[in-house]
Amino acid sequence: MKLSIEENITQGKLFTKEKLYADAIESYQAALLSVSTSVQQTDICNTLGLLYQKMNLPEKASTYFNQSIDLYKLLTDEQNLREQAVVYNNLATVCLASNIHLAIENYRIALQIYTKLTENGQTAFHPHLANTHFALGEAFQQKEDLYAAKTQFKSAVKIYDQLPEQAFNELKAIAHYHLGNLYTEEFNVYDAMTNYTKALGIFLNLETGNELKFKPYTAAVLNNLGVTYKSMGEAEKAFDYYEQALRAYQYLARHKHTLFTPYEAATLNSLSILYAETKSFEKAIAYSHKTVDIYNDLADESPESYTHYLATSLHNLGLFYFELKAIGSAEKYFKQALQIRSKLAIDQPEAFDADVCATALNLVELYQGELENKMDLHYQTLGLSLLEDVADRLQKYTENRPVLMSMKSDCSYYLDYFNRISLPQLQLENTFKKIHALTEDIHSTIYPKEKIIFQKLIVALLEEQLGQSPQNENLKTNLADEYNSLSWLYLQLNQPKKAEKILLKAQNLDKNLPSLQCNLAHSYLLQGQITEAKSSYLSLSNQKSRENKPYVEIILQDLDKLNSNEALSDYFDEIRNLLLVNRN
């Protein structure tokens, strides 16, 4: 039996209510064949468009929406403008995925209609006008036209602020959230913070009515406020918002594990990085371990989605332990990260080769430190093995991204270092590290009797090295300089004989340094050997130091200092006069 128009429409409504969309479409299409008025045709075409939209068949939905629009154009009644605007909005929504430009065009037509209606004093259309501004904002955001998106979201918020109904607070909050994201894209952190804060206030109020629906929004805003305050350099506020976001995501994960546990892990990771940036590495490690634990579970459940996050978390854990000089733990987690990243790079080299290189280079840096500290050439072998792999992976990249250029530079440096290093060189470099530390100790003391303790250790280190490398001319020069520094301290302590003995050892190194001759002259003076002293001083009278300073001035300053340190001689004035006469 053939059903009437009204019966088909009633049946279609029932099928729609039961979500039997295909059956509903069949009923409405049967009704469409029988209707005679344009108004009925437009309504049914619009309904069919919505049903096809629900079935995710955008092309068929567009066909019926366009038929509905064509029919509306034949109607001159201004009361149909509202329905026409609804159809344009529906058509725009269908076009979003396939044709963003057409979607924006249809939203704009709907916006023009609603603007015209509100200009006629019909305040009932203000919510529709605001919602269309909102939809246009999202469309422009999808198109990456940030300025136009901001303009539309601001217009939506302005209207939402004037509406008495609370029903639109959700969209208002989301608009503020979008504005926060857009300002973040522009590095305008203050306006981003302002909009996120407004969104947070609204979402928190909405939570009281439906916590599970709105807490995801609240958590997202809290997280973004953490990011924003971190960018503003306000670490304490960033910690506070990250911690609030973490608690929200933990609550949500208890209710919807699969959906929200990844967000919990991401927030833990953000906290670990922030603690590391504030040099609180113990806390960074604690949060990083929690992150690794969650990503371990997620990677077991969905390896394609989360294994690379696990690798990154392990890499970060290695970095944090490295900062604390916990070398064993750092190496352990770097190796775990490297193993995972290397496996990922087998199938997706373009996506993961750079990650492999980053972790490998951190391990190389660790091995360099171990090589120098332990002087164990096994670490040289480990470093070179990693570097060969890194060099092979990096040579595939031709683009000049800063991170790639930096890794290529590091790889080149480490290859040169590990290829040329030898045990004698390591021993020598280790000696100079110790000397540098002892030199810092000397500079941190005041009195010669304190300084000489460290200076003797420096001399002993260099003597030991020279014994192992007797032909090393640089070592001889360094040792001669340090002998000279030691002799000067002996002179200040009024021990000229010890100074002379040290200076004679320096002369045996065949390093003819004027500074040695100067201190030797001082030692003669303090021992009362005036003839030898005068001869040595006069030989320096026309010479200059490495800093191009005349030795006459250096000698005069030395004499003043020796005298002030109670080094005893009856000939200070005689030598001063001799030098002054000779200078003139």
- How would you write the pLDDT of the chain (584 residues) with one tens digit per residue? 578 888 889 998 999 999 999 999 999 998 888 887 888 888 899 999 999 999 999 999 999 889 988 888 877 666 688 888 999 999 999 999 899 999 999 999 999 999 998 887 778 899 999 999 999 999 999 999 999 999 999 999 999 999 987 889 999 999 999 999 999 999 999 999 999 999 999 999 999 989 999 999 999 999 999 999 999 999 999 999 999 999 999 999 999 999 999 999 999 999 999 999 999 999 999 999 999 999 999 999 999 999 999 999 999 999 999 999 999 999 999 999 999 999 999 999 999 999 999 999 999 999 999 999 999 999 999 999 999 999 999 999 888 889 999 999 999 999 999 999 998 888 888 899 999 999 999 999 999 999 999 999 999 999 999 998 898 999 999 999 999 999 999 999 999 999 999 999 998 888 788 999 999 999 999 999 999 999 998 998 888 888 899 998 999 998 888 887 666 677 888 888 888 887 65
The distance from CA 168 to its chain's CA centroid, rounded to whole angstroms, is: 37
Query: Which amino acid does the sequence have at 584?
Result: N
For domain 425-583, say whether CATH 1.20.120 is its number. no
Number of alpha carbons in the 13 Å side-chain half-sphere of residue 204: 10
Query: Which amino acid does the sequence have at 13?
Result: K
Q: What's the pLDDT score for residue 39?
A: 83
User: Where in the chain are the domains?
Assistant: 425-583
Residues near 23 by Cβ (< 8 Å), separated by ≥ 6?
15
**Distance (Å, whole) CA 119 – CA 504:** 103
CB neighbour class for 315 (10 Å; exposed up to 12, middle 13-18, buried from 19): buried
Q: What is the mean pLDDT of the chain?
A: 92
Instruction: Tell whether pTM > 0.75.
Output: yes
The DSSP output letter for 550 is B
- Which region holds residue 302: left if phi is over 0, alpha if psi is between -120 and 50, else beta? beta
**Distance (Å, whole) CA 229 – CA 1:** 69
Q: What's the pLDDT score for residue 584?
A: 59
**Distance (Å, whole) CA 31 – CA 11:** 10
**Distance (Å, whole) CA 69 – CA 53:** 16
Query: Which amino acid does the sequence have at 241?
Result: Y
Q: Which residue has the tokens 């000089």?
A: 325
491, 567 contact by CB (below 8 A): yes
Query: Which amino acid does the sequence have at 98?
Result: S
From residue 218, how far is each of 150, 165, 190, 213, 253 by CA, in Å?
21, 21, 19, 10, 14
SS3 544: strand
**Distance (Å, whole) CA 157 – CA 155:** 6
**Distance (Å, whole) CA 203 – CA 172:** 10
Nearest residue to 476 via CA among 506, 452, 454, 448: 506
- B/e letters for 271-284, b = 16+ CB within 10 Å, e = fewer, are bbbbbbeeebbebb
Nearest residue to 255 via CA among 216, 200, 294: 216
175, 153 contact by CB (below 8 A): yes
Q: What's the pLDDT score for residue 562?
A: 87
**Distance (Å, whole) CA 328 – CA 174:** 47
Strand partners, 550: 544
Q: What's the pLDDT score for residue 76?
A: 60
Q: Which residue has the tokens 């128009």?
A: 5
Q: Please state the three-class secondary structure of 39-65 as a single string.
A: HHHHHHHHHHHHHHHHCCCHHHHHHHH
Q: Between vectors from CA 240 to CA 239 and to CA 241, what angle results, nearest 5°?
A: 95
**Distance (Å, whole) CA 457 – CA 165:** 83
In degrees and rounded to multiples of 5, residue 399 shows phi and psi of -75, 160
SS3 566: coil
Number of C-beta neighbours around residue 107 at 10 A: 27
Strand partners, 544: 550
Nearest residue to 481 via CA among 503, 501, 454, 499: 503
The 10s digit of each residue's pLDDT in 492-543 is: 999 999 999 999 999 888 878 899 999 999 999 999 999 999 999 899 888 8
Residues near 572 by Cβ (< 8 Å), separated by ≥ 6?
525, 559, 562, 563
**Distance (Å, whole) CA 559 – CA 537:** 12
**Distance (Å, whole) CA 550 – CA 544:** 4
Q: Which residue has the tokens 């916590």?
A: 211
Number of C-beta neighbours around residue 127 at 10 A: 17
Nearest residue to 117 via CA among 156, 88, 78: 78
Residues in the chain, total: 584
In degrees and rounded to multiples of 5, residue 544 shows phi and psi of -125, 155
